[in-house]
């Protein structure tokens, strides 16, 4: 069973706010000049910010934050965030892989940006919504 896709807009302003909250002021997250100098296509979003957005989607599907039992991802591709008013979008979808007798639901999660997967091995276990 597929769960409804959730879409998250990501702008440079979001990256600035996340940098302030996380303390991660690496210039690859705010300076095009620096990001391209080190071989990136431009400013990229924080991996943990991407993971947090995916976690928000999982929490929505679960129905409550405390219903998320396990959640993990691997970062495979950066999320490039252009310097404009629109930014970019991360689309998050999931498929129910298993519902256990113990009342747990295992999800395989997919996160894409511009049609390309940005995470691999993204999985979550949630308490089965009633």
Confidence (pLDDT) at 130: 65
DSSP letter at 84? S
Q: Provide the pLDDT confidence category of residue 128 given band limits of 50, 70 and 90.
A: confident
Confidence (pLDDT) at 63: 94
**Token match 């924080």: residue?**
46
Q: What is the CATH number of the domain that holds 68?
A: 3.10.129.10
Nearest 5°: the CA angle 120, 110, 64 is 115
Spatial CB neighbours of 1, under 8 Å, sequence gap ≥ 6: 95, 96
Count up the domains in the chain and report the number.
1
- Domain with 31 in it: 2-127
- Dump pLDDT digits (tens) for 20-79: 999 999 999 999 999 999 999 999 999 999 999 999 999 999 999 999 999 999 999 999
* pLDDT (mean) for 12-23: 96
**129 has pLDDT over 80:** no
Name the E strands within the chain. Answer: 2-10, 68-75, 88-99, 104-113, 116-117, 119-127
Spatial CB neighbours of 21, under 8 Å, sequence gap ≥ 6: none
* pLDDT (mean) for 7-25: 97
Q: Tell me the pTM.
A: 0.94
């Amino acid at each position: 069973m597929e769960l409804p896709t959730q879409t998250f807009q990501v702008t440079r302003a979001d990256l600035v706010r996340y940098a302030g909250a996380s303390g991660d002021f690496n210039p690859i997250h705010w300076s095009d000049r620096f990001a391209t100098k080190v071989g990136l296509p431009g400013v990229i979003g924080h991996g943990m910010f991407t993971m947090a957005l995916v976690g928000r989607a999982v929490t929505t599907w679960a129905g409550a934050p405390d219903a998320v039992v396990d959640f993990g991802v691997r970062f495979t591709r950066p999320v490039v965030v252009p310097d404009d008013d629109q930014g970019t979008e991360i689309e998050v979808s999931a498929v129910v892989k298993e519902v256990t007798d113990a009342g747990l639901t295992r999800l395989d999660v997919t996160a894409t940006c511009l049609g390309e997967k940005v995470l691999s091995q993204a999985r979550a276990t949630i308490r089965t919504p009633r």
